[in-house]
Amino acid sequence: MNKKLVQFVGLVFVFLFRATSHAALPPADAQGQPLPTLAPMLERVTPAVVNIATKSRVRVRDNPLLLDPFFRRFFNIPDVPREREAQSLGSGVVIDAENGYVITNAHVIDKADEIAVTLRDGRTFSATVVGVDPDSDVAVIKIAPENLVSVPRADSDHLRVGDFVVAIGNPFGLGQTVTSGIVSALGRSGLGIEGYEDFIQTDASINPGNSGGALVNLAGELIGINTAILAPSGGNVGIGFAIPINMVTHIKDELIQYGEVRRGKLGIALQDLTPQLANAFGLSTDRGVVVSRVISGSVAEEAGLRVGDVIVEIEGRPVRHSGELRNIMGLLKVGDKVKTVVLRDGKRHAVTVEVKAPQSVNVDGGAVHPQLAGAKLRDIDEYSNLYGRVSGILVAEVVERTPAWEAGLRSGDVISAVNRRAVASLEQLSALAGRSGNLLLQIQRGSGAQFLLFE
C-alpha cells in the first residue's frame, strides 16, 4: 500500500470517528452549547402511550318498506337484521404496568365488540373492558402485562396557567404523534361536553384520535387525559381539553374495584348565586351555590341543610358555581363525611354531611294519574340537574305503547308545570294532577319547551 493511500484511509477513519462521536451528542448551537430538546423525556414516556383500534357491529337502518312483514314475505326477504362493521381509532395510557391497566376515554371504546391495543414497539394486544364511567368520559381496559411501561403521575391540583405541556396520541390514525403547548386555563366547566367537567385547557394541538392520550409536563409526568377540542370549523383552533389526572385516578380506582363509579347524593336542588340573588339575601359575595330545595328524607335534610343556604366551601375548597360543586361531590366516596360551609342569614355555618349511596326514587306515573301510566318519574336533584337551571320532575323512563308514550312523553323530559301551574316535586305533581280528568303538561326537552295534552 503506497503512502498516499495510507493517508487517505487515515483521513476517512478520522472523519467517520468524529461523525459517530458527534451523533451521540445533543445538537449544539454556534457557540457549542447543547440545544434544548424534549427527546430524552419523550423516550421515557412514549412507550406508555398506546394506540387503540375498535370494531363494532352496527345495525343498518332499514327502508321503512322493509319493516312491513307483508312486504318482506311477498318479496321473500329474510327477516334477519342487517349489520355493518364500524371501526374507530383513539389513544390510551398505561396507568398500571404491573397489572396491565390502560386509561382511555369512554367514548373511544363505546359499543366496541373488539378492542386492539398497539404499543409503540409494534406489539398488539386484545383488551377487555374493566369499567366505564360515561359521566366523566373515563374508561379502564386491561391488556396482558408483558413488559409494559407506565407513566408517573403528577399532582394536577398544582398546575398553573402558563405551565408547558406535551400532548401525545394517535391523531387521524397516523400513529404516535407529539405536540406541545401551555396550560391555557384551569377548571373549565359548563361546556356541555361531559357530565362532570373540570377540564385543563391547552393550546397543544389535539385532533381526532388524540382522545384518551396523555398530557404530560416537561418532567414526563402525567397531568391529564386528552378528551375533546373546541373546533367550530371542524379543525384544530388551539383550544383543547384534558381531564385532570387527579380526577382520573379517583375514577380509575372506583372502576377497578367496582366496575362502576359509586357516587352518593345529597338530595338537594341547586342554583347559582347571581349578583341579584346575593343582593336579595344581603350577601357581600356573588360566588356560591344556593340550595333551592331539600328533598325530604335525604342526607342533606338529616345534616340540617336548609332552603336558602348558600354553599361557599366544601372540604376546604371554595365553591363558586353549581358545576364546581357537582365536580367536588362526584369525587367523594360513599361513606365520606364532608365538611360544608354555608352562608345562612349572612353568617357562616359549618355543616357535616355523610355521603350515602343514592336510593331509587322512581315513581310509577300511573300512581300519579292514569294518563301517566308507563312513565317512571323522579324528583330532580343536584345530579340529574347539572347546573341548577331546570326545576320540575324528571321523566326517567317511558315504556312504548303506553298512555304516557302515546301522549308524547319521552325519557329525559322534565315536567315543569301541570294545568298551567308550576311544579317542582312529585308531591306537588300528585296534588295538582288529581286522579281523573285531562292533564296539560308543560315539558322541557333539551333546549326547547312544549305543551302535551293528556285526554
- Residues 43-65 have pLDDT tens digits of 999 999 999 999 887 655 555 55
pLDDT at 436: 61
pLDDT at 218: 93
Burial of 424 (0-12, 13-18, 19+ CB in 10 A): middle
Domain at 156-258: CATH code: 2.40.10.10
Tell me the pLDDT band of 95, cut-offs 50, 70 and 90. Answer: very high
**CATH superfamily, with its number, for domain 45-142:** Trypsin-like serine proteases (2.40.10.10)
Q: How far apart are CA 172 and CA 136, in angstroms?
A: 23
pLDDT at 262: 76
pLDDT at 387: 36
pLDDT tens-place string over residues 125-151: 999 999 998 888 899 999 999 999 999
Q: How far apart are CA 307 and CA 249, in angstroms?
A: 34
Query: Is residue 25 pLDDT above 70, yes or no?
Result: no
Tell me the pLDDT band of 36, cut-offs 50, 70 and 90. Answer: confident
Task: Name, of 138-147, 360-369, 372-381, 387-396, the range with top average pLDDT.
Answer: 138-147
Query: For the residues 101-110, what does the mean pLDDT come to?
Result: 92
Catalytic residue (choose from 211, 292, 298, 430): 211
Predicted TM-score (pTM) of the model is: 0.66
Q: Do domains 156-258 and 363-454 have the same CATH topology?
A: no
Q: How far apart are CA 264 and CA 334, in angstroms?
A: 5
Q: How far apart are CA 327 and CA 128, in angstroms?
A: 28
Domain boundaries, the chain: 45-142, 156-258, 268-354, 363-454
**Catalytic residue status for 110:** no
| Mean pLDDT of all residues belonging to the chain | 79
Please give the full DSSP string across 71-122, using - where no structure is assigned.
HHHHTT------EEEEEEEEEEEEEETTTTEEEE-GGGSTT-SEEEEE-TTS
pLDDT at 17: 38
Query: Is residue 184 pLDDT above 80, yes or no?
Result: yes
Tell me the pLDDT band of 18, cut-offs 50, 70 and 90. Answer: very low
Query: Is residue 225 pLDDT above 90, yes or no?
Result: yes
Query: For the residues 252-269, what does the mean pLDDT come to?
Result: 83
Query: Is residue 322 pLDDT above 90, yes or no?
Result: no
**Catalytic residue status for 436:** no
3-state secondary structure of 64: helix
Which one, of 248, 135, 156, 139, lies nearest residue 200 by Cα?
156
- Cell reading at 418: 301541570
pLDDT at 118: 92
Query: Is residue 19 pLDDT above 50, yes or no?
Result: no
Catalytic residue (choose from 107, 136, 369, 379): 107
Q: How far apart are CA 248 and CA 143, in angstroms?
A: 19
Query: Is residue 193 pLDDT above 70, yes or no?
Result: no
**CATH superfamily, with its number, for domain 363-454:** PDZ domain (2.30.42.10)
Tell me the pLDDT band of 159, cut-offs 50, 70 and 90. Answer: very high
Within 10 angstroms of residue 417's Cβ, the number of other Cβ atoms is: 20
Query: Is residue 235 pLDDT above 70, yes or no?
Result: no
Q: How far apart are CA 120 and CA 49, in angstroms?
A: 7
pLDDT at 248: 93
Question: What residues have CB less than 8 Å from 269, skipping those under 6 apart?
Answer: 291, 292, 293, 295, 380, 381, 382, 385, 388, 391, 424
Catalytic residue (choose from 133, 137, 309, 381): 137
DSSP label at residue 35? P
Tell me the pLDDT band of 23, cut-offs 50, 70 and 90. Answer: very low
Written in H, E and C, the secondary structure of 149-160 is CCCCECCHHHCC
Q: Using a pLDDT cut of 90, give the percent of the chain over it.
A: 25
Query: Is residue 264 pLDDT above 80, yes or no?
Result: no
pLDDT at 46: 92
Instruction: Give residue 396's identity as a one-letter amino acid code.
Output: A
**Catalytic residue status for 150:** no
Q: Does domain 268-354 have CATH number 2.30.42.10?
A: yes
78-92, 220-234, 323-337, 423-437: range with lowest mean pLDDT: 78-92
Alpha helices (runs of H) in 3-125, residue ranges in sequence order: 3-23, 39-45, 69-74
Tell me the pLDDT band of 181, cut-offs 50, 70 and 90. Answer: very high
67-76, 159-168, 187-196, 278-287: range with lowest mean pLDDT: 67-76
pLDDT at 359: 59
**For residues 1 and 400, which has the higher predicted lDDT (pLDDT)?**
400
Tell me the pLDDT band of 353, cut-offs 50, 70 and 90. Answer: confident
Tell me the pLDDT band of 20, cut-offs 50, 70 and 90. Answer: very low
Residue-level length of the chain: 455
**For residues 454 and 97, which has the higher predicted lDDT (pLDDT)?**
97
Q: How far apart are CA 214 and CA 310, in angstroms?
A: 37
pLDDT at 174: 75
pLDDT at 223: 94
- Cell reading at 192: 356541555
- Cell reading at 93: 395510557
Which one, of 406, 439, 445, lies nearest residue 420 by Cα?
439
**For residues 322 and 167, which has the higher predicted lDDT (pLDDT)?**
167
